[in-house]
Amino acid sequence: MRKGERTKQHVIETTSLLLNKRGYLSTPLSEITEATGLQKGGLYNHFRDKEELSLESFGHNCRAVEAIIRDRLEAAPPGSVERLMTYIEAYCLMDYPGGCPIANVVIEAEAVSGPLFGRAKAAMDDILGFIEATIADGIASGEMRPGIEPREAALFLFSAVEGGILLRKLYPDAMDAVLDRIRRFIDKELSAVPRA
């Protein structure tokens, strides 16, 4: 990796959590330069503008979240129901600094940054796609009830996850109640055979 590429990667890694905590668009450039040790001109040698830095940082945060979840999924027991529950629990319990990068961007960027909002939608599409595919696999294998609409179930499950993440900021024990309800939904509404 060349020096310029190393510097760019250092900036992304250094700013990703800062932007996830303080705002991808609302964090002042002065905080970014302080965190990275680069002046404004140095930053713009590597990024066209602050939005490009925000896009790169968002991508870095999404990959970090994906890695946490992937590690949990690799250790999960076999079966679609167990994979689905492992995925949901991993997302709910990971306590990523600043919260869910997707939710943060959606709240902040919807009316301000089309490209950043579009990246958040694509990231959410990936999550919903994984959940839908897992449910479809579970139906096909007989682990989950026939007649379930995978998209509808995925939307319900992940809206509960994101709501739990938001509520946890106000009520630290809220996620326990949300996860308990999600587990009951999976066991009673989705699973063909309730989990032990």
What is the Cα–Cα distance from 129 to 126, expressed in whole angstroms?
5
Q: Are 101 and 61 in contact (CB under 8 A)?
A: yes
Query: ∠ CA(148), CA(149), CA(153), 5° rounding?
Result: 90
Query: Comparing C-alpha atoms, which of 94, 111, 126, 79 is closest to residue 20?
Result: 94
Residue ranges and CATH numbers for the domains of the chain are 59-190 (1.10.357.10)
Q: What is the largest CA-CA distance in the chain?
A: 60
pLDDT digits (tens, 9 = 90+) for 114-155: 889 899 999 999 999 999 999 999 999 999 999 999 999 999
Residue type, 162: E
Query: Comparing C-alpha atoms, which of 63, 51, 56, 189 is closest to residue 126?
Result: 63
pLDDT digits (tens, 9 = 90+) for 96-105: 999 899 999 9
Query: Comparing C-alpha atoms, which of 151, 142, 149, 135 is closest to residue 85?
Result: 135
Question: pTM for this one?
Answer: 0.88
